[in-house]
Structure 1
Amino acid sequence: IKLVVEQGTLGKSQGKVVIFTESLTTQDYLRTLLLDSGAATDRDITLFRGTNDSARAAQALDAWYESVGRKLSPESRPSPDVAMRLALVDEFRQRSRIFISTEAGAKGLNLQFCDTVVNYDLPWNPQRIEQRIGRCHRYGQQRDVTVINFLAADNETQRLTFEILSRKLDLFGIVLGASDEVLHRPGPNAPESLASTVGADFEAQLRRIYDRARTLGEVEGELRGLRDAMEAKRREFEVAQQRTEDVIQRRFDAKVKLAFKRIQDELPRELAEFDAHVERVVVGYLEASEIAYRIDRDPGGTVLTVEPSPRLPEGMRCLIGGPVAGSPLTPLHLGHPLVSAALAEARAAGSAREFVLQITAGSPETLPLRGRRGRVRVVRALYRGFEAIDRIVPVGLLDGDDAPLSTAVTSRLLEEPIVDVPAREERSGVTAAALDDALDEVLFDELGDVGKREQPRFEQTIEQIERFMSDRILLLVRQRDAAIARVARSETQRDAAVGFDARDRAEQALRKAQTEIEQLDGEITRLRAGDDDRYRQWRQHTQDRRYAKPEFHPIFDAEFEIV
């Protein structure tokens, strides 16, 4: 602890340390030890456990509420449990230097402002070690994270356990991308790529060893055996991994590679586009409702501040875009109260009145349409097939045209700058009937596109149903073959029987087998004819899903002019 503080004073570290332990007793012991030794004061130490109900935790919660919590709107305020977690983390960030946590703090905490982790006692599950280190070694960390593991060097069983954990944790380097040397610095002969080959029951294996062994020697022997078994599995994994890499490099479909590359390239752009749409909806709602707001943009994130108003008496602060590490603010999303209110207002406004839109063309797709007028209708199309598909379908029809604009061009028009303008005396020449016909045409094309996506799933499901029926028939045929074999054996036993009782038993077995054959023949014939309730139900259910009637809900209908 003194070294960490000294390094922090010199600017070589952040001067803070997280200590993990597995028991409350050890947590209290460490706190007392640090206080008695003079290495820390009570103000320097923050305790985190499953139930944080101490007076010190309550003080941290009060301090957090005064500095952060009271500024949040009621909709943005976290639950009491989450607020307590945020408060203790905030205390560690702002005031204390030592964060002593039980396993309750190994998940969900953002401690990237600390660069030293101490595992006072090691868990038997290496994944939990990764989780501990991940509290500090995460996005936003500005330094290398130092991990210190306490180990009784003269304890052979603990040394063996540590060795197994070290090997098992190394394998996360390639499987989970954790290439840091988190337990120790491997020697030149240490394996560079290991996988979790021992499996999820690794912790249970260690517990069984300790529960079953009666002497320290037996524990050490069992641990050596586990270490050797793990080494063998490691070699198996490396061979399999190399073989898999070779197969992927030689045979990985170019289309699959292209798909992954496209996702990698397009996802950030699509997320940014989504955030821009959400911002546009919310800002439009605030301006239409005459609610004052402010948007602060900086490299760390974009913050929307909504001033108090009759509709939002307490105001609101939230993020636009993804979450920001260490920020208590909630990002805007489709379920956010502000977004829900904006959408509800837009729906009500769209259905309550007729209006005219003035669209300012600015893109290559819309510039040729300057000076044109028409009508646009936007509907929500819900397809409840094998995959639920929810689409917004815009339909635009220009005055004097018989065919509607393409969906892409209509969508682009609605993305251009738009303002409401007073309705002219001269209305658009597009009639409601013509717009209905255009909508039917566009929806027919949409339904065809959805059908192309659904058809492979439909055919695959039908094939699975038929394969299941074939498997049932095959099972019955095998049972029939077995019954025929029993008939032959029973006839042989009957003919060779000596005495009435033996002959009678053979006759009974023969009749039973013959009856079974007759029943199986009937069942096989029935299934081959498709005369089965489950079979019919499955096929009907599949047909209903494939040809489910879509639902269409109007959003708004408006005239427009393009300038």
Structure 2
Amino acid sequence: VIKKNSKADHLFIALDKAFEQLQLLGANQKALIFTESKRTQEYLYNLLTEKKYKDQVVLFNGTNNDPQSTRIYNQWLEMHKGTDKISGSPTADKRSAIVDYFRDNATIMIATEAASEGVNLQFCSLVLNYDMPWNPQRIEQRIGRCHRYGQKFDVVVVNFVNIRNQADVRVYELLEQKFRLFDGVFGASDEVLGAIGNGVDFEKRIAQIYQECRTTEEIQSAFDDLQEELKPTISEKLQSVRSTLLENFDEEVREKLRVNYDKTKSYLNTFEQKLWKLTKYVLKDFAFFNDNEFSFNLHGNPFHDVTIHPGSYKMLCTEEGKKKSDIIVPDDTNIYRVGHKLAQHILQKCKSLPTPVRLVEFNYTDTPTLISSLNGLIGNSGWLRVEQLSIDSFENEDYLLLSCITDEGAEIEPEIAQRLFSLRAEEKDLLYLVPETESRLSKSIARYRQEIVTTNALRNRDFFDIEMDKLDQWADDMKISLEKEIKDLDAEIKLRRAEAKKMLSLESKVAAQREIKKLEKGRNEKRQSLFASQDEIDERKENLLTDIEKMLNQKIKQEELFTIRWTII
């Protein structure tokens, strides 16, 4: 039995020191602790609540079905009853409830890998990797939960490394020095990580070293070989990214990359801007718009088949010096966002509008924000087609494919062609496509379509490897843990039997045998748990294989959205 857990003791030391620094900085007293398993998560929860942080710890994992999470979720539902904050998805709402509880009530969140994506925790600036993953992208994702737009302080990252384990030390050196994960806010980690794909192969190489190397010399040699192998790829990736920045961005753009946060106010992100413009287009005869506040007053119902109540609507953009959660909205104002009923009907109406082939004149000089990548197209004309591609495999995925050509026969990259729709434009004459242009646009679209289908298949393959690895690791951890417990119980039973034989009174012997029977019953239950867990793992693997088999039969749907003839003046 482990009497003292030094790693857990150092967790308290790390928290104490970190909270002292947060207090000096004026930052929130919040800490996000990442673990690799729910067993460790539960252990830390019990330890922290018993020793120092009672009622200050919250759990976040893939299921969130513990009593505390359920209670938090029910309270959150009651608090926001009748508001559009409730999305209707129990999974998403439960995640939101736990995040809100962490922000408003708790001091510490203990999270598994489930919190490494899709969660915004910019109110927390302390991340502790209690269990260090070997995949550098997983670490980057963890840090990204706190280091994101709206974070007011440098995010501090505390990593737990066993310095007596040479393999652990070398893994950390790779992550810190080679992948530059902890170099600062604008380190080179994004550039470097792009050179290793999704990190699964790298993680497998680390696992192989742990399994095959026994001596310090073997470990050192294996990691030296791995570093040398990675060196050319990473160096080439860094050089490529830097060259792209220096060669393709003019001085004005490079200067703007150093964002002056003091000047940011009332900015909408790109997605919200598109929704705002779309709303203005559809409701131009039914609402008065205030572009400065991104709000509008609806005075009529544009839809006859659904009830839309007139009133005030406001988009929650980020105002200077404020977070979205700090903005006060009057009680009689509707929060306008893409999930709102009115926005959904606007989107559906726009999707159903006819899109005949038209001439569209884009005005570069009359657009407030100039886009340097379009400079070379001023005065040119051509054709552009947009197609929606839907792939139904392991998940449903939608893509927009753009094919753009000039009258001279040059093909415009989709990323640049997409920029056209950031310019002010005017719809002109109705046109017809000639067969030659139709053929060129179709061939170009088909090439982009095939690239996406191939990439989707490769990504699903990697996802399969990751999920199978997770199940195998879970099986190994569960098996080792239960077998250790069974072995300990066998030793305890053997010891008790020996002690019972030495007892003199019959009463003592009977009592001892009763205790032995309890231990034997517990051992049998552990064995049954081992078999049951193995059955559960086999079932999950079977379900995963079934899903993958469905995925292999990709259902691909393509739909032409519109074709235009374009010109830029």
TM-score by length of 1: 0.50
Superposition TM-score, scaled by structure 2 size:
0.49
Please tell me whether Structure 1 or Structure 2 has the larger radius of gyration of its CA atoms.
1
